[in-house]
């Protein structure tokens, strides 16, 4: 019994150290997220990340709800085609130079903060030992077609968020997951 309790406490501690609060802003204001969905005007918006310990996050952006539904339903990504696996990450420009997010059904964006000169956000600031990082999304970039402005896009956007760690044998452990569907006002 003691072993089970120790394991449960260790699992809770491990999950609690990798927290990231995700918010969406538009026109200078936070937009309410309800049940992992947000409704936005067809205009640029900001993804706001509040990191408490690990200053990076993997973000899979897609027009298909396939991975979104897997994440939402608790499927362990290592048990399926792991879109967050090794070799599937995409390297965005430093400081979000293009004001975009890359869409790829088979890969993910890697947003991180290393220091003031090495990160993939527009703006970063520290508040009460939390890193607050902002990434403006003005364009949607696709691997096979030219990027388009947010206001020209039709259909929902599905975002999957994951924080992971690897051990010395490259075995991956999932620390945090979240998901967000972006819908547009008519």
Cross-strand partners of 142: 103
According to DSSP, the residues that pair with 162 across neighbouring strands are: 58, 177
Query: What pLDDT score was predicted for residue 78?
Result: 63
Q: Identify the sign of the CA torsion 57, 110, 116, 114.
A: positive
Cα separation of 179 and 36, whole Å? 6
- The predicted structure's pLDDT at residue 137: 97
The predicted-structure confidence for 34-83, as pLDDT tens digits, reads as follows 999 999 999 999 999 999 888 888 899 999 998 899 889 988 766 665 66
- Residue 10 belongs to a domain: no
Provide mean pLDDT across the span 161-171: 73
Per-residue pLDDT at 152 exceeds 90: yes
Domains held by the chain: number: 1
Short-list 179, 181, 175, 185, CA closest to 13: 175
Give the mean model confidence (pLDDT) for residues 12-30.
Answer: 76
Please state the pTM of the whole predicted model.
Answer: 0.84
Q: Region 141-149: what's the mean pLDDT? A: 90
Q: Is 134 inside any structural domain?
A: yes
Q: Which domain holds residue 26?
A: 19-184
In a domain, 14, yes or no: no
2 in a structural domain:
no
Widest CA span of the chain, in angstroms?
Answer: 58
The reply to whether 9 falls in a domain is no
Question: Which residues is 168 bridged to in the sheet?
Answer: none
Residue 143 lies in a domain: yes
């Amino acid at each position: 019994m003691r072993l089970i309790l120790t394991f449960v406490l260790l699992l809770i501690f491990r999950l609690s150290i990798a927290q990231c609060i995700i918010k969406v802003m538009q026109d200078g204001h936070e937009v309410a997220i309800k049940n992992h969905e947000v409704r936005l005007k067809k205009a640029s918006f900001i993804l706001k990340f509040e990191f408490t310990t690990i200053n990076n996050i993997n973000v899979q952006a897609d027009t298909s709800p396939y991975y979104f539904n897997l994440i939402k339903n608790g499927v362990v990504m290592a048990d399926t085609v792991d879109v967050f696996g090794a070799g599937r990450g995409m390297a965005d420009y430093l400081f979000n130079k293009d004001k975009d997010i890359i869409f790829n059904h088979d890969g993910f964006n890697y947003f991180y903060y290393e220091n003031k000169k090495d990160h993939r956000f527009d703006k970063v600031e520290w508040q009460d030992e939390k890193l607050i990082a902002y990434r403006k999304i003005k364009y949607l970039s696709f691997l096979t077609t030219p990027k388009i402005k947010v206001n020209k896009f039709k259909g929902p956007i599905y975002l999957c968020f994951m924080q992971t760690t690897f051990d010395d044998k490259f075995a991956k452990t999932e620390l945090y997951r979240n998901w967000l569907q972006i819908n547009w006002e008519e």
